[in-house]
Structure 1
Amino acid sequence: MNHCRIPSHCRLMLAICLLLPLAGCPDDPPAPGPGKGTPGVTVVEPLRLTPKLIAENNRGVGLLEQYRYDQAGKVFAALVKQQPRWLDAKVNLAIAVLNETQKGSVAVPILEEVVIADPEHAAATYCLGISLFHANRIPAAMIQFRKAVKQDPRDSFAAYFMARCLEQEQPAEATTWYQKALGLEPYFQSAHYRCWDLLRQVKKFDEAGRHMEEFSLLREHPLSVSFEYKYTLMGPKALAIRVGLPGVAGSTKRPDGPVFHPPATIAAADSLRLPAAAGLTTCDINADGRQDLFITTPVGSHLLLAGAKGKAVESFVLAPEHPLVKVTGVIAPLWGDFDNDGLVDVYFCRRGTNQLWKQVKPGQWQDVTGASKAGGADLETIDGVCLDLDHDADLDLLLIQRGGPAQLLNNNRDGTFEDISKKVGVDRSGAETAAVTVADFDGDRDLDLLLLDVAGKGPRKNILLWNDRSWRYHADGKLGDLATASLTVALAADTNADAQVELYTAGGSQLARWQRALDGSWSRQGLELEGTRGAIGEGTPRMALADVSGDGRLELLVGTSGWSAWRVPDDLQDTRLVEVADSGEHEPLSAWTPVALDHARGPAIVGMLTDGAPLTWAAGSGRFEFFSVALSGKKKGRYRERSNASGLGNQILTRVGGRTIRASSLPTDSGPGQSLQPVAVGLGGAGKADYVKVVWSEGVTQGRLDLAVGSLYRIEEEDLMPTSCPVLFAWDGTRYRFVSDLLAVGGLGYLIAPGQYAPPDPTENMLLPAGLAQPHNGRYRLKLTEPMPELTYVDRVGLVAWDLPPGWHMTLDERLATALPDPSGEPIFFRDEQPPRRVTNDRNADMTQRVASVDHRAAEVGALDRRFLGRLAGEHSLVLEFDEPLDAGPGQPVLVADGWVEFPYSQTAFSAWQAGASFDSPTLEARDRKGRWVTVAPSFGYPGGMPRQITLPLKNLPRGTRALRLRTNLEIYWDRLTIVRSESCPGAVRRELDLVEADLRESGFMVRQLKDQFRPHFDYDQRAAHPEIVDPEGFYTRLGAVNELVETVDDAVAIFGPGEEIHVEFAAPGKVVPEGWTRRLVLETVGWCKDMDLYTGDGQTVGPLPGTGRPARARDRLHRRFNTRYQRGW
């Protein structure tokens, strides 16, 4: 039986083709007469939509919102088959098709049917317009957009596309339409850029400059708008249409009942009498899945362990013999996994030397303060945070000390900590710090530090330190009144889910909100509490941010002797807070904090009465349901520890019914102390979340679908490849086959130490596997793709055919060189091969068969360093023994190696640099006649990425060499190792093939598969959903033909990013290869790539553009013409 494999998007297209005849198309013949009845009048049954059909449509919409385009398309296709006259379902089908196939031409016939049936269907008109535009049918698209702007004169996207259609022929009118779009949507960043470009061309530089200024200001604005052919970014009329039954409306009214139950004592702790200076934190200390409570007092600590499963969530048992309660002088515990072993540890802020207690085995605790050098200064440490402040996958410590400066202890990842406070400026030149707030205030994915000055000690000077990474900070010079404000506590959060963090502060009895404007300045808004009930009052306030109503928005909890919860309006201009709940009548509380006791009902409050016992305010019936998420960067898969194991500092974005809910695993309690608990997410009455996206602290995103309320979900960071060099596919006669990746040698901004970046080499030639690429209609077809979050800059791509006489073979002088000499990229011809007789590794295991052929069964590398990606726990060596001396044969000996490498990323390099751990490139040694090992090529290089072949000419071998040794601690998988004898081949024929086509396209994200020994493989026929992948900000090459950019080396580069490709076709030689001869193909490339690692130089922007120093005039002319597609960035 023959099996034909059809890509998912092709299966969807096939289903659509089968459906189209059901409803006809514009060129169909007239329908037959209606038979009996009025001549020329067709009796049409009214469209009847059942609850089942509507539910299925809305399920399809949900799949679109989860970016599962293929599945959504199948749902809508089935609905159209059942109800061919259901126009909204057809529009939804077209939207799914456009997003799945990225081919506007496929969606066009579906939408044409709708506008013929209903010319006033506004969504169909607009979607037909953008589909025609995508298919480069500009005149036809303009017809639709002329209708669209009449149907909805307020649609800024329709006006924008009206201008796009007019740009080439009528630029002045196009400018007018862009300005209309801006009148409708002032934050339309794409329209500002197009205006700038058109006005610049007619030399209206002042007006153009104003648009560029607005364009630049909108780069960081959370409400800025830009158009992309991606779902949710194509305009409101390109969103799928939800349908409801007539007369049935959804309710968002909160359930009846209280948000919190009245306070109840904890039976096991009823006898405790806690002083006013008591503190409270929560953590699952014994790993039973339930939150425990740790109480600190000046005279000792108490541990309340959650009751056994099946008991009430508010039940606890006192654990007086636990080793942690015996630690004296504790003021504030900081809970986290400091060594990333999967077991929670604790850092005790104390009166005197602090202590770090490690859980060496489950339930077994050990004081490791001395060995870890984590004791800190000999002061009273009143608070602190443990977070991955430098984004190197471990928890660092930032400590607040009474009478002294803040102290920053860097986790060295070798079990020790180092005080770097003065080095990075956290000590503020010795000034005392009262409190710290950690957040990503500027939205650039790293954590910034707000340090509050001490009240009553001279002029106040709060400072905000912007994180420049690599342990570099600079102070914000635009704090204004925030710099001198008298503040006791401050918390940061995005309460209205607009992707911009606000700062909430308490000073005295006054609450305020601070916002950062586009120009970087800060403004204060005094917050008004509804009535007088729940006002702060006198004393030191405590503050927390938590969703306690289940509506998906954070409430502000604040109080001194008690607490009250206040709803924060989504409109940040509204300063009136509405009370949701309060703690009621009771004696003063010494401390309180939200605790995730019930994952279905959301946070409870646990508080401690002064001179009394702990109380719980359990979740009441007057709230929507929740689910909880416990995050961990401790991976079970391949990519070890690129985020901290405690899951701290990550963002959680939840999509439900077209709405986005934002949450964070940063601390949202003013302390003292830092709890560790799951993040509660309320869904506002929905039964499940359509989609949950985690943005890990390293910047990688990960999704989960269909998370239902009522449960705790433990999400470990998946084995996702965070970035990759561009990936090459070749047409093999039946399909596009994966070859390898390219241009790793041209990596831009790769960090090797703080402030030091590896120099890129933009030239790489690749010998394609023999016989892989086959011509199609007289052309070789190749694809250079970006299936991962990365940028590629292609200057030239060429294809060379080498015809070799009988008996001759070739390889290339190529490798990722880490020492001189650099490879030339030139061919190496040979007739003779001298494979090793025996190969053994550093563990004396025989690896001869493992390295005898390219079979993807590489030599075993030994133990991996679990701390650092791409590094081994020890040195891996291979000894190659030969029957005959290597210097005795014909020609020059050349080492040929096939294999692949696991690259350390910039973040990994920084982390290893801190720990003093080196990445040692392979060194080649030869054994001389006396048995001594002589270095032949120190740190010469390695295979630069996925499976490929490299070579090393051997020019300085000791006489009579019969053994070679490779040594490295890099994670390199040697698949084949052999020696060939390089000779000149006068009969070899070189033909440079003509570049016939070079086209930049949107291709989607090919599925990455991880084979044995972590060998990466990509399948071009399968696509992975990568929702909300964000592109580095800047100008990319517009889609379409890019021949002029990639046919010559001139520094004019084609720029493309995630989910895109350059498709190239070369004319195959007309001359047939003579019998006995061999044809080999060499892909020649000049270009660069850049990943989005947090520590990669300029990793968040397209610029600065790379180059080789050639004259800029021709390059700039081509860039102005081609590189006009702006992508928003992070």
Structure 2
Amino acid sequence: MTRVTITRFSEALLVSALCLAAPSWADDRADFLALMNRGKAHLENRSSAEAIDAFKRAVGIDPRSAAAWRNLARAHLMSSHPRARASVLEALDRAGALEDDSAATNYLAGLTLLRMSRFDEAAERLRRAVQLDPDSATLRFQLANALQATNRHDEAVVQLRETIRLDPLHASARYKLAGHARQAGDRQAYQTHLREFMRLRKLLGPPASRDALERCVHLLPEAARSTGPVVPPPIAVRFTDVTDTLFADATDRTATAAAVIEVDEKGRCVFFVCDAEGAAGLLAMTRSGAIQRTRIDLKLPDSSPFMQCIVGNFHDDVPAGAVYDAALHAKNDLFLIGPDRAVLLKRRGPLDFADATESAGLGGLTGRRAGWIDSEHDGDLDLLIARASGLELWQNKGNGTFRNATGEVGLGKTGPTRDVAVADFDANVAIDLVAAGDDQSTRVFENLRTGRFAATTEPPGPWPAARRVLADDLDNNGYPDLVSIDDKTATIVYSRRARRQTLDLAGLDAVTALLIDFDNDGWLDLCVAGSERAAPETGSIRLWRNGGRAWEHVSETTRLTGTRIPPVRHAVAADIDGDGDSDLLLLTSDRRMRLLRNDGGHVNGQLKIRLVGLKTNPQGIGTHIELRHGADWITRSVSAIPIEVGLGGRTRLDTVQTVWTGGVVDNRFDVEVSKKTVLTITEKNVATGSCPFLYAWDGSAYRFVTDVLGNAPVGLPLARDRLLVADPDEFVIIGDGDGFRPLDGAYRLNVTSEFLEVLYLDYARLVAVDHAPLIELHPTDKLMAPPFPASELWALTDAIRPIRAVGDDGIDRTRELADIDGVFAPPGPLLPPPLRGMCHPMSITLDFGPVPADRPLVLALTGWLQYGQASTNIAVSQNPSLKIIPPMLEVGNARGEWRPVDVTVGMPAGKTKTILCDLEGRLPRDAMRLRLTTTFEIRWDRIGLFERVSSDRARIHELEVDRADLAWRGFSEIRSRAENHPTTPDYDRVSDRPPWRNVLEGWCTRYGDVRDLVTAIDGRFVICNAGDEVAMQFDATRLPPVPAGQVRTFFMYCFGWEKDGDHNVVEGHTVEPLPGRRDPDDRTAGGRSADWRLDYNTRWVSRDRFVPPRPESGDRLMK
């Protein structure tokens, strides 16, 4: 009998034995499932004795079920038997021996020990539970209890703060924090926490019971099994070494560094490669199917091999006057890092690269690993560098240079660092980072916004030690996870699952690792490469398939085991041959490349995504991508190109969603996909911040009037160390009576918050002014630095229009500036992204002929300002090459002599408004022309000289708010109605969801009657979050008839502030702290305390208000 025959005979015997045993096994399994379901029902009915009996029988059938042992522990925990607590711990010991990474096991043990007053032991078990499930407020609170019982009060405070961060409505944590603050003598913190506790008690009733404070998902009985994530079944995939076949010239294979630098419209990848001699080239597959290397006229310095080559567009050169075009100007650049040197290469053309290392300020740098990150979300890419001296962040100044900002951003004490990765771990649209240290420490740094990072609290750390770290979504639940690779293991740390998984790297000296969806099932798999420990001269590649619940070692089935190669230094995954699956390009220790072709992955299909950023970085680094089909999700975090996503056999996707780093969400619907679809997604120019909108009833509908309080921002930076001072009061012109009519005896004005911002409205009144038809009335308000002018209405007459208005670009703007007609003069040449709202310096010369300088002249300028954002301001402030010129005015005479006019011109605060410059006594007698210069993107509609006349000629009527109601409304469709016009909302076209996900979190005014809050400037205001509307009515019967021969113009006077949710607004992620220079008087006439915040601010708005529900699976936490 041959060996093959013996083997087949043995297999047949085994199959027969299994078939004979099958009925018994099936019966046991059925009994086990029935007992688990029965015990679960008894637990839910709080019948502990019956539950204990059922679960004891269940573990008797299957003693290797950790879930059954935990359920038995839960049943004992409910029991009042004297030995119940000891029985709990015994059952949990059995569960822990089966699963040592279960948050539920550790939480139940910690809770039991806490009840037994074994506080030190309880603290350790609860700390482990929090490490495994860092996002449970209940676990944090119970850990704080254990720490407090062991007199570790500072640590307890940390966990209580984490508790209210995770659950802002946790009244008991607030009460305990108040107590700690009182003991510490921190009166302000004590009052804040006590006020929040009182508010929550008023809303939610008495404090929660002990049982309620212990209750969480880990206390609930586990079902026998759950559906788990849906992963397509395995398909046959193997990797084939095609190096000798596809590289026609052996010299083309030499390389010590490589990276994909470009993905064209058809999805074809182009590599940048360089060799040990410093020769560089571009590598791509030809139409004939061969790999061709095109030499670049560039010689890199001789050095030891670079450790890494990363691709990112750090700066685009756009000629002055040219309109930015991503297809023309956006070119990916390269950064190479190694132990001897770093090199920054700027791409200037298809084969034109320049060494920009020295000019960029990066000369002399060395390092181990690096990564691109838009750390400040200001639209340009910064550099993270892992060095022996520590992690460094080099800030992009926006002019092609960098500066070391490590200490300023909170990363100054990281210690020697081996590797770094970036991802938005908490899904708050703020990129976080993780660093692997030499001292076996791995630290996650949370992005605090405003350009700063802080190490996350421990727990959830300490994190597994690592030589390499990778970050992306491994369980397709919308949150990035972490892969930590050390000498012996690869540990999968799930960000929203209460367990970790460990993969054995025994025998492998791991040098490089990457995430690759090799079988295109939509789930990222793990590839680790290096050399065999037993044979260091032999290369080794290991591959694990992600099965959702478990990882399967598939190196043998994919033919990677046994691949004869030198030790691997680096690996890149990309569809090199264009057949719709990701291949492996390896760089080996002999300084050559090996290509392993993916055969079979194409069966499931692959979607290639090309991102084109316009407001954020051009490459889309940091963007979050979600593919949805029915209940299935596939998500990716973009850190490099190419973006290749397996489709799992799907031919259509319900949506493809991108969440750009600026927070804007873009959806593509009903996307048809094939096995090799290429989808190019260009970022939309969507504003997430502006100002509140004002609408007026015109007799048939609500019409948009303008935006308000644009000159009263809260926390808006002009630079990192300087904020724009708010001017909170403003007059806004509504128009005449033809466009503003009463309805049911009341004039109606609605103020809405329709951006990622919060409105704090303290006061509003309606002002009606009767005046002669030839008199114009305009407010004195404008956007400017203090001291601010008094908020008044000026009467103007006798307009003098410019005879000629010409820009220094040669464009005649006379016609555009003659009248307020919606025909706007063009601004100067616009600056490229991310410098939204800025342009090259441009002057307009206004020739008025002889100017009557002895008259009370006022220059009235009507136009609109293209707002930037806080992030724009940061980008501008960091760029020393930019000229920043607020509108400035000069006066010229007939001799051509010019001198500055001593006046602050200012800017219109948003949509089309008129601003005034008082020129009385400021012009010389021989004045002929005025010259207006700025670098801001302002489109002027009319500029003219007027004479100011006494307001005594006008009669002013003021109406207080008769009724005011706050309610949810939604978000208007916003678009530009004509060329060069500002974007404006359509009140009748409303959506319940905005084009972003997050909002400012905090207590807002409850819906309903808010009149009492807007009838006096008293520091008590309506707090409107995104989507809210304040509808105000004013009694029209209180106005007298318009006098004969006069016209009536309406204005709204308001007092308030607005806060934008931009990443760089100070405390721009929360509603509080509330604005204003003083606290309101919280005393009633009788002296009784009456905190208006407790009465009105009782509506909690969560940060993730518009985040869609995440997919859940059996072992995911219920949030």
Scaled by the length of structure 2, what TM-score is found?
0.71
Structure 2 CA distance for partners of 1:550 and 1:460, relative to 1, 3 Å: closer
1:929 CA drift (Å): 7.8
Equivalence for 1:409: 394
- CA separation of 1:222/1:807 partners in 2, compared to 1, >3 Å: closer, same or farther? farther
Are 1:656 and 2:622 counterparts? no
Q: 1:1034 aligns with which of 1002, 1012, 1024?
A: 1002
Q: Which of 901-910 and 1119-1128 deviates more?
A: 1119-1128
Q: Distance in 2 between matches of 1:252 and 1:397?
A: 37
Aligned to 1:877: 843
Is 1:273–1:610's contact at 8 Å kept on the other side of the alignment? no
Q: How does 1:817-896 map to 2 (within 5 A)?
A: 817-820=784-787, 822-889=788-855, 892-896=856-860
1:246-285 pair list within 5 angstroms: 254=232, 257-265=235-243, 267-269=245-247, 272=250, 278-284=256-262
Cα distance change of structure 1 residues 1007 and 208 upon mapping to structure 2, 3 Å threshold:
same
| Corresponding residue number in structure 1 for 2:527 | 557
Question: How is 1:1065-1104 mapped onto 2 (pairs within 5 angstroms)?
Answer: 1065-1069=1033-1037, 1071-1104=1040-1073
1:213 and 1:434, CA in 2 relative to 1: closer, same or farther beyond 3 A?
A: farther
Which residue does 2:604 correspond to in 1? 624
Deviation at 1:258, TM superposition (A): 0.9
Matched, 1:418 2:383: no
How far apart are 1:750 and its partner, in Å?
0.6
| Conserved? CA contact 2:240–2:599, under 8 Å | no
Sequence identity percentage: 26
**Corresponding residue SS for 1:768:** strand
2:517 matches 1:547? yes
Aligned to 1:141: none
Ranges in structure 2 where 5+ consecutive residues have no aligned partner: 1-163, 175-194, 219-226, 317-328, 531-538, 1085-1089, 1105-1119
Letter in 2 for 1:603: S
What's the CA shift string for 1:1063-1120, capped at 9, x where partnerless?
2222224533233211110111111111121101111111111124253416973332
Partner of 1:926 in structure 2?
Answer: 891
Could you say what secondary structure the match of 1:607 adopts?
Answer: strand
Q: Structure 1 unaligned runs (5+)?
A: 1-185, 224-248, 530-534, 636-641, 668-675
Alignment of 1:565-584 (within 5 A): 565-568=543-546, 570=548, 583-584=560-561
Distance change (3 Å), C-alpha of 1:376 and 1:1056: farther
Q: Any conservation in 2 of the 1:600–1:709 contact (CA below 8 Å)?
A: no
| Contact 1:376 1:407 (C-alpha < 8 Å) held by counterparts | no
The alpha-carbon deviation at position 946 of structure 1 amounts to: 0.8
Which residue type is aligned with residue 410 of structure 1?
A: Q
Q: Which residue of 1 aligns with 2:562?
A: 585
Task: Tell me the distance in 2 between the aligned counterparts of 1:451 and 1:1126.
Answer: 35
Cα pair 2:777 2:794 within 8 Å, conserved: yes
- Counterpart secondary structure, 2:945: strand
C-alpha offsets along residues 247-280 of structure 1, whole Å, 9 cap, x if unaligned?
xx99967367313454443523276499999554
Q: Distance in 1 between matches of 2:430 and 2:341?
A: 30
Q: 1:446 aligns with which of 427, 430, 438?
A: 430
Shift of 1:300: 5.8
Instruction: Report the RMSD for the aligned CA atoms in angstroms.
Output: 4.0
Query: What letter is aligned with 2:785?
Result: T
TM-score, structure 1 length as denominator?
A: 0.70
The residue number in structure 1 matching 2:980 is 1013
Which position in structure 1 is the counterpart of 2:661?
697
Give the CA deviation at 1:950: 1.5
Query: Deviations along 1:284-327, whole A, 9 cap, x unmatched?
Result: 27887411344555456675633245x5xxx3423153335876
Distance 2:299 2:672 in 1: 38
Deviates most, 598-607 or 199-208: 199-208
Closer, same or farther: CA 499–1036 of 1 in aligned 2, 3 Å: farther
Which runs of structure 2 are paired with 1:708-1107 in the superposition (5 Å)?
A: 708-710=672-674, 711-770=677-736, 771-805=738-772, 807-820=774-787, 822-889=788-855, 892-916=856-880, 917-927=882-892, 932-960=897-925, 961-1010=927-976, 1011-1013=978-980, 1015-1023=982-990, 1026=994, 1029-1069=997-1037, 1071-1107=1040-1076
- Alignment CA distance shift 1:596-1:733 (3 Å): farther
Are 1:644 and 2:617 an aligned pair? yes
* Distance 1:507-1:867 versus aligned 2 partners, 3 A rule: same
Question: Aligned pair in 2 of structure 1 residues 427, 805: CA closer, same or farther (>3 Å)?
Answer: closer
Q: What letter is aligned with 2:702?
A: Y
Q: How many Å separate the matches in 2 of 1:955 and 1:654?
A: 63
Distance 1:715 1:472 in 2: 30
The match for 1:51 is: none
- Pairwise CA distance, 1:700: 2.2
Residue aligning to 2:121: none
Distance 2:510 2:780 in 1: 70
For the residues of structure 2 that align with 1:1123 and 1:853, how far apart are their CA atoms?
Answer: 46
| Separation of aligned partners in 1, 2:692 and 2:630 | 36
Say which is worse superposed, 705-714 or 916-925, in terms of deviation: 916-925
Distance in 1 (CA, whole Å) between partners of 2:870 and 2:426 is 22
1:654 Cα offset (Å):
2.4
Whether contact under 8 Å (2:730, 2:781) holds in the other structure is yes
User: Is residue 520–residue 601 contact of structure 2 (8 Å, CA) maintained in 1?
Assistant: no
Decide which of 563, 570, 574 is 1:595's aligned counterpart: 574
CA distance in 1, matches of 2:720, 2:499: 36
**Shift of residue 423 of structure 1?**
5.2
User: In 2, Cα distance between the equivalents of 1:805 and 1:275?
Assistant: 85
Give the Å deviation of 1:563: 3.2
Seen in structure 2, the aligned counterparts of structure 1 residues 691 and 1096 have a Cα distance that, compared at 3 Å, is same
Q: Is 1:527 aligned to residue 527 of structure 2?
A: no
Q: Which sits farther off after the overlay, 1111-1120 or 852-861?
A: 1111-1120
Amino acid at match of 1:802: V
- Are 2:1091 and 1:1117 aligned? yes
How many angstroms apart in 2 are the aligned matches of 1:915 and 1:274?
41
1:586 match: secondary structure: coil
**Cα–Cα, structure 1 residues 1081 and 207, in superposed 2: closer, same or farther, change >3 Å?**
closer
Shift of 1:685: 4.0
**CA separation in 1, counterparts of 2:173 and 2:724?**
39
Superposed CA offset, 1:1001-1025 (max 9, x none) = 3322212222322522222222366
Show the counterpart of 2:348: 360
* d(CA) in 2 for partners of 1:834, 1:480: 69
Secondary structure class of the residue paired with 2:744: coil
Q: Could you tell me whether the CA contact under 8 Å between 1:819 and 1:938 is conserved in 2?
A: no
SS in 1 for 2:1058: strand
| Aligned mates of 1:1093, 1:323 — CA distance in 2 | 43
Over residues 128-179 of structure 1, what are the superposed CA-to-partner deviations in whole Å (9 max), with x where a residue is unaligned?
xxxxxxxxxxxxxxxxxxxxxxxxxxxxxxxxxxxxxxxxxxxxxxxxxxxx
Q: Does the C-alpha gap of structure 1 residues 828 and 462 become closer, same or farther in structure 2, counting only changes over 3 Å?
A: same
Tell me how far apart the structure 2 counterparts of residues 251 and 472 of structure 1 sit (CA, whole Å): 36
State the one-letter code of the partner of 1:416.
Answer: T
Q: Which residue identity does 1:414 align to in structure 2?
A: N
Please say if 1:665 is aligned against 2:638: yes
Distance 1:619 1:281, change over 3 A: farther
Q: CA, structure 1 residues 985+1104, in 2 after alignment: closer, same or farther (shift >3 Å)?
A: closer
8 Å contact 1:278–1:296 — kept in the other structure?
Answer: yes
8 Å contact kept, 2:239–2:560: no
Matched, 1:433 2:410: no
Q: Deviations over 1:523-570 (max 9, x none)?
A: 9945155xxxxx452312422223334343322333434334334465
Contact 2:764/2:960 (<8 A) preserved? no
8 Å contact kept, 2:450–2:1066: no
